[in-house]
Every structure is written in structure tokens, then in C-alpha cells.
Amino acid sequence: PRLRRGKGGRGVTSREYDEEDVRVRPARRSRPRTKIRPKHADAREGFVTAVDRGRYTCLVEGTAVTAMKARELGRQSIVVGDRAALVGDLSGREGTLARIVRIAPRHGELRRSADDENSAERVVVANVDRLVIVASLVDPPLRYGFVDRYLVAAYDADVAPVLCLTKTDLAPELV
């Protein structure tokens, strides 16, 4: 082998390569992926009660179960109030994880208005039948804009609003 100068003045030998020096990478999968997905006929119904960083707390037959969204749901959002079909470990023990594989059709969706960067509205809660708006008459004083905003949201979502005014004893002249 000839000696040539590399970085830093050190000698580097050049070498001839043959077939044995080439690595052949094995195939990634032995069989092609299929588009056929399981039906999950054994999935049990649950109710989403909390959402926290990609983990969902669902109530399945009275047991709180931690779950994650299955890949086949794609970018479909899951919000509090959704009725979901779950598979996997539904025991509810610490450290166990189930998968949400289906979401039932929603009714009564409360949506948050879009911000400056994103024009799409986001669903905050689903399957709502009644919206209770709780506001104080005094201390702090009643904010009519707050009540107005939630009444409009309730009527827009076809949800029955209930207005609950507190601290009526502190301002009997307003009642």
C-alpha cells in the first residue's frame, strides 16, 4: 500500500476494495404490510374523562383506564366526552395501557374559536347535553360579556344552557 498524507500530517494508507468489503443490508421486512386492519370486535366501550399529553383516562364499566390513541385513528382528535372503543389491558392497574381504536359519532360539540395563526376551530368537549354557566353577581361583579359568550357557544352547539348566579345574598337588590 502507498502512504499518502491525511489531515494533521499523519500517514493514511490507501487500499483496494473488493466484494467482501461491501456490506449488504438485510431487507427491512420479510413480508409486505397490508392495508387490512383488524375489526376489534372485542373492543369495550369507554368514556373519555381526561386528556393529558397523549394519554387518555377513560371510564370503562366503572374502572378508570389509561389509554393511548391507536395508529389507525390517524390525526383524528380525541376530547373529553368522547365515547371510545378500547382494547388491551383494561384492568386499570398502575402502569397498564389500553388502546383507543374507535370513536363514536359526536353530538353537542363545544368549540374554541380560532387564534391568529390557525384558522380552524378546535373541539374542546364532545357529547354535551347541558352547559352550566356559573357566574357571581358581586365580588367579583357580573361580567355580561362572559355570560354572553357562553350562551352563544351553547346555542351554536345546540346545547341547553343553564345560568347559575351565585352570591345573591350579597346583592338582594339585583335579584
CA angle 80, 81, 85 (to 5 degrees): 100
Summarize the confidence of residues 31-60 as an average pLDDT.
Answer: 86
Tens-place pLDDT, residues 88-125: 999 999 999 999 999 999 998 898 877 767 778 888 99
C-alpha cell at position 52: 393529558
Would you give the DSSP letter of residue 137? Answer: S
Q: Grid coordinates 335579584 are at which residue?
A: 175
* CA–CA distance, 52 with 75 (Å, rounded to integer): 16
Tens-place pLDDT, residues 140-162: 988 999 999 999 999 999 999 99
Average pLDDT, the chain: 85
* CA–CA distance, 49 with 57 (Å, rounded to integer): 6
- Helix (H/G/I), strand (E/B), else coil: 64: strand
Closest Cα to residue 146, out of 134, 129, 156, 157? 134
pTM of the complete model: 0.69
Residue 41, sorted as left (phi over 0), alpha (psi -120 to 50) or beta, turns out to be alpha
pLDDT score of 31:
67
Q: How many residues does the chain have?
A: 175
Q: How far is CA 100 from CA 62, 68, 81, 126, 145, in A?
A: 17, 6, 14, 16, 38
